[in-house]
Chain A
Amino acid sequence: MSKEKKSQTVQTTGHAWDGDIQEFNNPLPTWWIWGFYITVVFAIVYWFLYPAWPVGDSYTKGMGNTVEYTTKEGEVVVTHWTTRALYQKEMQAAREQQAVQLAKYSKLSFDEIKKDDAMRAYAISVAKVLFADNCAACHQPGGAGLISMYPSLVDDDWIWGSDYKQIETSIRSGRKGVMPSFSKTLNEKQIDDVAYYVLNYSSKQNDFARVKNGKEIFNTNCAACHTQKGIGNIQLGAANLTDKIWTVAGITAKMKDKDKINSIKQVIKNGIAREMPGWENRFSDLEIKMLTFYVNELGSKQ
């Protein structure tokens, strides 16, 4: 469209700057104007149907928009439209939909869940999601753990015990793995010998004098928690030192004995303070039950 043509057909606003700069008055397209009127009508209808206008210390609640829901306590509530009421309704629907299934679970023992393939599969599928959202950041996806930081849940070595009750307590209340540092109470030679003795539990060493010396130190300083046999104590979460699984020391099979001893010495010198947070405030009893079942399954696979 050329300028001349436009100036003939379109009016100007009547303003003029610097003598000759003028402004066209292009009317808006009709479809646009109608769109605008429709939004105005929509708004007015909306005011009547939904909570809209403030009135003093309250507000208009709208008409014909009641939401009815039942709380967990069984109270029936009828209210105007609100997102929180819709949320309550959504939760109620989910509760009712799952009620039958979940009631079955709260009655079944762990062993019964294990025997019933369908029940077992459902529990694991629920727990897997919970695990990924909440536990995997520490125990890693699948539960493999991170050497020395977060214990593996897929081996059959348990710091705090392997039966359902004990695993449930681990999850529900959390755990604190605490071992004092011995860098002030023992000297370098003593730490060296006791580390040698600790390694001797799982792979036999040949310097008997050193083993004997280490054993004495172990019995006076360490046996209270780890027991004289070194098998640990699930009451205290004291690790079993006689197996080849090292949850803290970070020892792998490929390492040389010298490096293994050094890793053990580090643990003895630094002490340990690890924490597993408690989950009872985040999960329902049933969710904890399913997680317990799942974690136990993870560990007993091997």
Chain B
Amino acid sequence: MKHETIETHAGILIVLTLIVISIGGLVEILPLYFIDDTVEEVKVDGIESVRPYTPLELRGRDLYQREGCYTCHSQMIRPFRDEKLRYGHYSLAAESKYDHPFQWGSKRTGPDLARVGGKYSNEWHVQHLVNPRSTVKESIMPNYGWFLENPLQFNDIADRMRALKLVGVPYSETQAEYELNIKNFGKEVANQLDITQAEANLIEQAVSKNYDGYIAEITEMDAMVAYLQVLGTMVDFKQFDDGYFATFR
């Protein structure tokens, strides 16, 4: 094809440009799907440590994205000593394998949140999200008062899970998928991943844990805090030898 033909046909030019610039991405990304060590194996007694989010946590994650928390917070602890001292063990690829899209980021206006789960009480998170300056005087994080006011919308939770299932997150719909989940994650987790029970599970978790401190209603705060409290808590690093995860690189 002659140079002039390409330059004078915008359609062809666009398609060819896209092909050329995608080569760089494909060369870097595609092989990772075939390399064994890309995602670490994290199993304790044959059970996968990292699991997909429960319905309530999943809604919390959606809110995290809706509010753009990622514009100030990363979720990626890098393998350096200072990071370890500040935030905890470095993040594993396995820990974000069910994140679509992942929340790694590199913008740290606020601290990294990859291991914030369990660091504070639910009570603190509620107070902090409503008004960060009531707990951390010099904070520049915005107030998110509406989390407590807005009832959580979850009638579409099954569809949200189905969408993630399409990109490979093992939520189950059929009996066979459910049984596979029992094998991989254990029964308790498998029940949470069952799309047909999604709504009931979400209500159960929100009511029994009552993250926001209000019994009368399931608010967005319930979901947000449930999500924050699970971040970085799935892998119990005491179960693995020091250096085990370094062997995957």
Contact = CB atoms under 8 A, between A and B. Distances in A.
* Chains A and B are bound partners: yes
Interface in B50-98: 78-81, 84, 86, 88, 90
Interface in B102-141: 118-124, 127-128, 134-136
A59 B35 contact: yes
Nearest to A17: B8
A72 interface: yes
Interface residues of A, number: 37
A87 B80 contact: yes
Interface residues of B, number: 38
B228 to A, nearest CB: 13
Given A71-B241, A94-B81, A133-B86, A277 B31 contact: no
Nearest to B132: A137
Contact of A88 (B119, B127, B243): B243
Nearest to B210: A273
Contact of B118 (A15, A75, A281): A281
A146 B121 CA distance: 15
A231 interface: no
A282 interface: yes
B81 A91 contact: yes
A4 interface: no
A43 interface: no
A259 interface: no
B243 A56 contact: no
Interface of A: 15, 54, 56-59, 69, 71-73, 75, 77, 79, 82-88, 90-91, 94, 133-134, 136-138, 146, 149, 273-277, 281-282
Interface of B: 4, 7, 31-32, 34-37, 78-81, 84, 86, 88, 90, 118-124, 127-128, 134-136, 236, 238, 241-243, 245-249
